[in-house]
A and B are shown apart, each in its own frame.
Chain A
Amino acid sequence: MAQYVNLVIDGQEFTPEKGTPLMKVFMDCEITVPSLCYHPILKSHSRCGLCIIEVKVNEAWVINYACEMVAEEGLKISTNSLNIHSLRSSTAAQLLKRGPFENTKTTEFLQQLITKTEKSNEADYFSDHSLPMKGCILCGRCINVCNMIGKHYLTFLGRGPSLRISFVKDKLNEFACIKCKACRNTCPTGYIAENGKETFTNRLYRD
């Protein structure tokens, strides 16, 4: 028997099934909450930061990431308050700093979210310094899909400024990564041009 729960989103009441991912609830109820790293089938890790919403906890609005939440009884959610719009705008501006993207649709999508001008500095870290992977927003979708199909050829390496995605060579079959193109099809920014092996030049184990 499917259990249904009562939610309040932006003042309106909805009754989805218990345990439905919140992003699916938004899609079903036609509420727009932007996201770049969320995929309905893959595990999400709240890496892009665009899906932030406000949840009411004990009379105060607390910021939470929608892609990690599921529908529970009594949730009160706000998706379009001023605070949320301002945070989304800052997040989109920060994502754009990660370099010009191959996929122009992503760039346009992000630019539409920017509603306020950032107090920017002339000197900008991201234009002055070279990052390990310019053009990649480190959303982890490629890693998730490669794990899901059982290949496990990609992984995150490092932390902080040196966070990057690296290729894990398969000891038995060196040429196993060429034909599948699953990572290329899920990449939101178009960073992966050919396949994982060519794109991610960092290696987890030394050759």
Chain B
Amino acid sequence: MLDKIYLIPFLPGLGALLLGLFGPRYIREKSHWIACTTLGLSFLFSVVAFFELLQLPAAERSLEVILYQWIEVGQFKASLGFQIDPLSVVMLLVVTGVGFLIHIYSIGYMHGEKGYARFFTYLNLFAFSMLILVLANNFLLLFVGWEAVGLCSYLLIGYWFEKHSASEAGKKAFLVNRVGDFGFALAVMLIFATFGTISFTEVFHRAPEASVGVLTAITLLLFMGACGKSAQIPLYVWLPDAMEGPTPVSALIHAATMVTAGIYMIARTHILFSLAPFTLSLIAIIGAATALFAATIALVQNDIKRILAYSTISQLGYMFMALGVGAFTAGIFHLMTHAFFKALLFLGAGSVMHALSGELDIRKMGGLARHIPKTAITFVIAAIAIAGIPPLAGFWSKDEILWSAFHSGNTLVWALGALTVLMTAFYMFRLVFQVFYGKSRVVPEVAHHIHESPSVMTYPLMILAFLSIIGGFVGIPPGRGAFHSFLSPVFGEHGETHSLASLGGGLGLEYIMMFISVLLGAAGIGIAYLFYIKNPQLPGRLAKSLAVPYKILLNKYFVDEFYSRTLVRPGIRLANFFRRFDQVIIDGIVNGVSQLTVFTSFLSKLFDDHFVDGFVNDVGDGIAGFGRRVRRFQTGLVQNYALYIVLGVAAMLTIFLLR
């Protein structure tokens, strides 16, 4: 299998091609067969690849499979090649596994949609792109996958493109992403300029040769790309708007996979980052700030998907925090567990919306647990996981990040993270209580139709719930679990979080930290219970007494408005200026030149008529006039002619005699 690793991305690619060409006309409502089969096979092959990799001794678990030399221009070489090592295998399993579950879920969720085939085409195309991204063995191929997932994100967010807000959201996502891509592209160029190659193995091997300054520049630019793709400050603004897309899209792309591309990329290039400590500090701070920032916004949102979107931004902040303090394995660990419970949360939200005929305002929900129990139970499991309550998955990964931050001396980062834990638990359970428990605030017409989702939607929920429960166990004991040893060939000592035994005296401290995390989580849940079950007037009263902060949070700190005023509108004005310049000046010049040509031809005609024709006519007239005058000699009278002879003779005689 390992040498045929290319099948894993190419199968969904083939699926996308078939569905794209023949789907809308011929395959239509059977599209899911092709899409799910291709991705299902990819998942199976990923599992096989995983086991095959395990057969190899740990030190040799890194292969490159090169299909062919794609570009070779002078010194610049890029191959179509795939890199298989523990990190890529973990990503493969997450992408294909969670992706496959979401494909199954979509069969139910997108049932009856007009663009059914189109949806699965894009989903498969996305899977293809993401798999290329995680398997690439050089920066250019990774960038191809990187851009392609951005494209698929645009296509899928704007899936219901007839809706104005959806098409605008798609554009916004793509444009904001582009800013990040700009940084990433510059980084790749700088890498080539510095190392003369863009192949991962070569660049990482020669990384220490470059100066810290250059490496810092490269890593900052790479991080800029990651900010765009993984929605960190200041390029996160597209993610909440991306909720305009269908819920399976939100689950797959904006929770489990595409947004994790930035994390993966930094993990993959960690050697460069570990040589640029400034960038790492920056990453940690931005990650922590984003985590807290997004969590505060989520506290007061009323749209079920927006809450989850900000939650995603916040959790991505955690992953960046981990990377920033050098705990790369912890970051990937949280990526994995987050994929499980965030996908579950989104799919669950989709299930709720399905039950309520599309409602997404949590103020119009409530008491749904008895009507849609399967959705409710799985959702609550996910909420417990994300709140970081052991023994569910979220606790292990989140706690490891917090411990790494604290232990590496970044106390501020730890503090921000800990505060976010409290908020995360609070807003998640605010969501849970508002939606599933308490009094029903559902509008009556909608309430009549409440029904549990079909099994094609609930089975993926249950599988993800199961994974959310046991998913963390691979990371036990913290910092030294199976997950860590599996990834150690990739990250070396950077991955292994300094834990318990290695730093003696840390044992007790680590348990205390764990206890604090759990306490914060439980406190968050408790406060949510207080606010939304015990004492439902509390939120309203608090909002009124803290009216200004409430307004700021509800309006997401007015960031979008700020961007609009400072970037978007000036940009549009600039574009309009150039448009007018083009129309008035450029077109003016072109039209002017044509007018000049017309005028010149007019003058030419004038000259031609007047002078040339005139001259010709005058010559003719002249000759005619001359002829008119001369012909008068021809009188026809012989005697006249004789006279001329006589005159001539007389003249000659005169001349002759006078000589």
Decide whether A and B are members of one complex.
Answer: no
Instruction: List residues of chain B with CB under 8 Å of any chain A CB.
Output: none
